[in-house]
Structure 1
Amino acid sequence: MKTTRYSASRQKACQSCSNAKAKCDRKAEICSRCATRGLSCVYPSSTPVVAQNTTYTAGEAEINSQPSTSKNISIDTIFPDLSSTASVCSHPQDDANVANPSNPPLDFSNLELVCPINADDINMRWMRSYIPLPEQIPKAYSTATMTFIRRVLKSYSAVVVRSRGIPPFIHPLEMTVKSASPLATCLSLVRICDNLLPGSDEAVAGVLMREMQYLYMQRTTYDDMTLLSAFQAYLIYSMVLLFQLGRVTDSFLRQAVIALQEFACSSSRQGLLCLAEQIPARPKWEAWIVTEAKRRTLYTMYLFDSVLSAQDGLPVYLGTELRGLFAPGSKTLWHAQSRQDWETVYNRHLADWGGKGFQIDELWPITAADDDAEVVQRRTRMDRWLENLDEFGIVIYAVTSSTHGD
């Protein structure tokens, strides 16, 4: 029979943008709006891919061990409407949080990054809880501070599970590059944790853990951008397991922390600071996006590690290995919508800070060796830093201030 004229869809937007009555730029693989919100970007008569089809060999380390309870359960039988559930989600967020389709494509190659710290110390952090070094400085979180950290991290996991956006350690423009596929898969996959069917927790946890195992086994094959994407995805999976699926006593999470620190170490080795910032000069926008996202992800991982350590009754230590890294950048830099806007703001940033940005260790305890002039200067710099923080910077300040004082 002859097909009718309108048998094929003439829809000019993906399903998510169409339902939200939003403009769709129809980029290859995933449009900017879906990338920013972590939605499944599908068109009529298409089916989204939820996760990679992976196989595993025997003899892997414990972090790669296969979960036993859900190995043979098909996720499609539990969540047949996964794609449609997310695509009809409405997001009241301001459009300023979406990558601007009119901007020219960003180039994340040849970024000229450096690592100003010893990244290997990050990799060994988990061991310091069992074999502390003499120079380690313990952190005594109050019950209120620990509750605050837990609730903030829980909100980060809830945001992605409910498809309401992305956590503030992920830059929206990261999602516009193909190498962000581990993160894009993560933001799609964790939605299966929303409105769980009774008795499906084990199966869902097994799906997430298998994806984590896949990322861990592939980590040595990733380039810098894909490694950052995998690091962020692995952190989100870990937080979802703890805060959304309640895997409080699961030994897998303890192994996941070790794997997280391996991801953090490998990603940090590729650079945590723009070379231009050491001059100081204005770096490429892309370079700043990557290093700022790396540092924010690193700080989030440290908060998550603190939660698990405190939960297990282990001591929590100050992350002195991060000394010299920049504290979270300003709200206007992080949310800049074009290269021109960002460069204008960064030029002002250089003038304000005189070439020496605010560092994370300036939020740590004031030592007895600091004289009055140094203390005054430090507080002046802190006040300037506080003037233009986004929600992530406020969290870091709240935690450090309540722990170490002013």
Structure 2
Amino acid sequence: MKAAGGFECVKCKFRFTQRSSLVRHSKKCVDGRPQPIRQKACRECSAAKTRCDLRRPTCSRCVVRNTDCRYLTNPAGPGIGVESDGFPQRDGQKFTSPPQGHVRFETNPLCSSFNPEVELPTPESDTLDFHSILPPDLGALENELPAVLEGYTDLDCLDYNYALIRNIPEPTSGEGVHTAPSTPAPAYSLTHHTMQMLFRIAKTWPRMMARGIQLPPIIHPKQVSDGNMPLPLANCFALVKMWHGQPHGGASIVQQTVKREMQMIANSFQTLDEPDLVTALQALTIYTLMLLFPSNHQQAIPQLDDRLIRDMRRIIRHAVSTGMVLQEETERTRPIWECWVAGTCKRRAALSLYTIYWGYSVYHVIPAFDCGELHHMPAPAPKYLWQATTSEQWESLYNRWLADWDGPYYRHGEIFTIKTGIRMDPRAELWFEEVDEFGMLFAAACNAIEREPELTAMEIAA
């Protein structure tokens, strides 16, 4: 009915400025159509109170757990002059049907019910109201969206790959339909792209060891050149070959073997001497990657056992407590090459575990480890020092490196203090000039952490 301030619904007394809006609203309100369901997550994730990534037909969590993934949908109800495909039929007019019928407002994109392939009537041949060809949900969206999203704070679950229909014009205005592209926030995109890049690169490290052509950037050639590897690293080389050559369906056997080896390290790490502790950290890094990528056929990163994560944290803390900086590095003198190799490998392994777990925490939306205890240690070493093949070559290059650096070594924590912009302070520029691919990868992760305020690093109880 027409009220003094516009058009008023006879049932809920809600007022509209346009008659077409009232007509679309009445199809739901007067006919008693059920309101859209607010729950977006699947039933399994909702029951576990875990964030659901809303992938259809099965979310990642249900894929990993091999559970039945079901999403709640609104019960179908009769419409006014609406066929099963959700579009009105007038005078024998034929419309192409959407692949899945009329989609009610739930976790799908808001404009998914609008079929761009529908043959629209022209104003010259038909007087059909332009708004009447849209699904009823979209017509009432202007007034119902605040109520639907009330109390719903996890807006990251909405699909950013689509656009919201905006400013639907009147048929006589002569204007086209405007779309407002909806894109993720820059920090959200940066963090997730960095996480994906990190895993794409780190996933290759076990395969490098298995193929035997090159080594991952956390293992120095000096450690394997004499053929007398410590036991933790020797066992790791054997397991990566098993992981790399596993037959189809053999991932579970490899996983159980890797977990047993990790448990052995967790039971004995406090009694290991320095060389064995360094190689245990390196092996733990590779084992973690093997558990995150158990086979080449997986579509999602599985969740690790809580006990395994706690053990990993304890081992890292113990390694840090035994020292991460050589006395010669503090005094700005040249250490022995073998000691420098061991110290650098120890720092790289600890840094890799922290960074890999950060990517894991971004993927599963859980708190990450606090790596503040590593801020004082040297940042990843220069590429030319890491690639030196003899003691004489390394000593000559190290002397030149000491001469280039006027002051203390570049610390890991300084990477987090780099300001935005193209230019950097001289110390940061010199470090980026020297660093290898491993350091670049870590710097990219630091940049993503700094730009992501809602994923602040938090401490997990040990």
Q: 1:189 to 1:388 in 2, by over 3 A?
A: same
Tell me which residue corresponds to 2:445. Answer: 399
What amino acid is aligned across from residue 273 of structure 1 in structure 2?
A: V
What's the Cα RMSD here?
Answer: 2.9
Q: Deviations over 1:295-353 (max 9, x none)?
A: 11111011111122223321346622222211101011111111111111111111111
- The answer on 1:224 being equivalent to 2:270 is no
- The answer on 1:239 being equivalent to 2:289 is yes
What 5-or-longer segments of structure 1 have no aligned partner? Answer: 1-137, 369-374
Tell me which residue corresponds to 2:345. Answer: 293
Tell me which residue corresponds to 2:252. Answer: 202
Tell me which residue corresponds to 1:339. Answer: 391
Once residues 372 and 424 of structure 2 are traced to their aligned partners in structure 1, the CA distance between those partners, rounded to angstroms, is: 18
Tell me which residue corresponds to 1:156. Answer: 205
Tell me how far 1:275 sits from its aligned partner: 0.3
Tell me which residue corresponds to 1:382. Answer: 428
Q: 1:282 to 1:403 in 2, by over 3 A?
A: same
Tell me which residue corresponds to 1:211. Answer: 261
8 A Cα contact 1:139 1:317, kept in partner:
no
Tell me how far 1:166 sits from its aligned partner: 2.1
Q: 1:379 to 1:177 in 2, by over 3 A?
A: farther
Tell me how far 1:198 sits from its aligned partner: 2.7
Once residues 448 and 249 of structure 2 are traced to their aligned partners in structure 1, the CA distance between those partners, rounded to angstroms, is: 40
Tell me which residue corresponds to 2:372. Answer: 320
Tell me which residue corresponds to 1:272. Answer: 324
1:47-58 to structure 2, matched below 5 A, reads: none
8 A Cα contact 2:418 2:428, kept in partner:
no
Q: Deviations over 1:47-94 (max 9, x none)?
A: xxxxxxxxxxxxxxxxxxxxxxxxxxxxxxxxxxxxxxxxxxxxxxxx
Tell me which residue corresponds to 1:364. Answer: 416
Tell me how far 1:251 sits from its aligned partner: 5.8
Q: Deviations over 1:193-212 (max 9, x none)?
A: 22422322212211221122
Q: Deviations over 1:205-244 (max 9, x none)?
A: 1122112222222222211110111121122111111123
Tell me which residue corresponds to 1:144. Answer: 193
8 A Cα contact 1:157 1:243, kept in partner:
no
Identity of aligned residues (%): 28
Q: Deviations over 1:90-130 (max 9, x none)?
A: xxxxxxxxxxxxxxxxxxxxxxxxxxxxxxxxxxxxxxxxx
8 A Cα contact 2:202 2:289, kept in partner:
yes
What amino acid is aligned across from residue 323 of structure 2 in structure 1?
A: G
Tell me how far 1:183 sits from its aligned partner: 0.6
Residue 199 of structure 1 aligns to a residue whose secondary structure is coil
Residue 244 of structure 1 aligns to a residue whose secondary structure is coil
Residue 273 of structure 1 aligns to a residue whose secondary structure is coil
Q: Deviations over 1:114-150 (max 9, x none)?
A: xxxxxxxxxxxxxxxxxxxxxxxx9996221111111
1:40-51 to structure 2, matched below 5 A, reads: none
Tell me how far 1:366 sits from its aligned partner: 4.8
Tell me how far 1:177 sits from its aligned partner: 7.3
Once residues 315 and 373 of structure 2 are traced to their aligned partners in structure 1, the CA distance between those partners, rounded to angstroms, is: 16
8 A Cα contact 2:232 2:276, kept in partner:
yes
Once residues 162 and 145 of structure 1 are traced to their aligned partners in structure 2, the CA distance between those partners, rounded to angstroms, is: 27
Once residues 350 and 192 of structure 1 are traced to their aligned partners in structure 2, the CA distance between those partners, rounded to angstroms, is: 43
Once residues 139 and 325 of structure 1 are traced to their aligned partners in structure 2, the CA distance between those partners, rounded to angstroms, is: 29
> 332-341 or 193-202, which moves further after superposition?
193-202
8 A Cα contact 2:251 2:294, kept in partner:
no
TM-score, length of structure 1 as denominator length: 0.58
Q: 1:205 to 1:289 in 2, by over 3 A?
A: same
Tell me how far 1:290 sits from its aligned partner: 1.4
8 A Cα contact 1:363 1:400, kept in partner:
yes
Once residues 150 and 201 of structure 1 are traced to their aligned partners in structure 2, the CA distance between those partners, rounded to angstroms, is: 19
Q: Deviations over 1:244-263 (max 9, x none)?
A: 33596766544322222222
> 353-362 or 170-179, which moves further after superposition?
170-179
Q: 1:319 to 1:215 in 2, by over 3 A?
A: closer
8 A Cα contact 1:238 1:256, kept in partner:
no
Larger radius of gyration: 2
Once residues 179 and 198 of structure 1 are traced to their aligned partners in structure 2, the CA distance between those partners, rounded to angstroms, is: 31
List structure 1 runs of 4+ shifted beyond 6 angstroms. Answer: none
8 A Cα contact 1:139 1:316, kept in partner:
no
- The answer on 1:351 being equivalent to 2:403 is yes
Q: 1:153 to 1:386 in 2, by over 3 A?
A: same
8 A Cα contact 2:191 2:449, kept in partner:
yes
TM-score, length of structure 2 as denominator length: 0.52
Once residues 266 and 306 of structure 1 are traced to their aligned partners in structure 2, the CA distance between those partners, rounded to angstroms, is: 19
Residue 442 of structure 2 aligns to a residue whose secondary structure is helix
Once residues 165 and 274 of structure 1 are traced to their aligned partners in structure 2, the CA distance between those partners, rounded to angstroms, is: 27
Q: 1:146 to 1:294 in 2, by over 3 A?
A: same
Q: 1:282 to 1:378 in 2, by over 3 A?
A: farther
Q: 1:220 to 1:401 in 2, by over 3 A?
A: closer
Q: Size of the alignment, in residue pairs?
A: 262
Tell me which residue corresponds to 2:236. Answer: 186
Q: 1:383 to 1:228 in 2, by over 3 A?
A: same
Whose helix fraction is larger, Structure 1's or Structure 2's? Answer: 1
1:30-45 to structure 2, matched below 5 A, reads: none
